[in-house]
Amino acid sequence: MQRRSLISTLGLTALLLAAPALRAQAVAPDAFVKQVSTEVIDAVKADKAIQAGDVNRIRALVDAKVMPYVNFQRMMASSVGPQWRNATPDQQKRLLVEFQTLLINTYSGALTQVKDQAVVVKPLRAGAADSGEVVVRTEVRGQGEPIQLDYRLEKAGEGWKIYDVNVGGFWLVEAYKGQFAKDLNAGGIDALITTLATKYKSLASAKS
DSSP 106-135: HSTHHHHT-SS-EEEEPPPPTTGGGSSEEE
The predicted model scores a pTM of 0.78
Please give the angle made by the CA atoms of 111, 180 and 54, to the nearest 5 degrees: 20
> Cα–Cα distance between 119 and 129 in angstroms, integer?
20
Rg for the chain, CA atoms, rounded: 17
Alpha helices, DSSP H, located in the chain: 3-16, 29-46, 48-51, 55-65, 72-80, 83-86, 89-106, 109-112, 172-207
Which helix (H) or strand (E) segment holds residue 153: the answer is strand 147-156
Which residue type is seen at 143?
A: Q
- pLDDT values of the chain reduced to their tens digit, one per residue, 208 residues: 445 554 555 565 666 555 544 443 568 889 888 887 787 788 888 888 888 878 788 878 777 777 777 898 999 999 999 999 999 999 999 999 988 887 776 556 566 667 777 888 998 876 666 778 999 998 888 877 888 888 899 988 878 898 998 877 888 899 889 999 999 999 999 999 999 988 766 655 555 5
Which domains occur in the chain, in start order? 3-207 (3.10.450.710)
Per DSSP bridges, beta strands 147-156 and 159-167 are: antiparallel
> Cα–Cα distance between 204 and 185 in angstroms, integer?
27
**What does the buried/exposed string (b/e) look like for 52-63 if buried means 16 or more CB atoms within 10 Å of the residue's CB?**
eebeebbeebbe
CA nearest to 184, candidates 109, 64, 95: 95
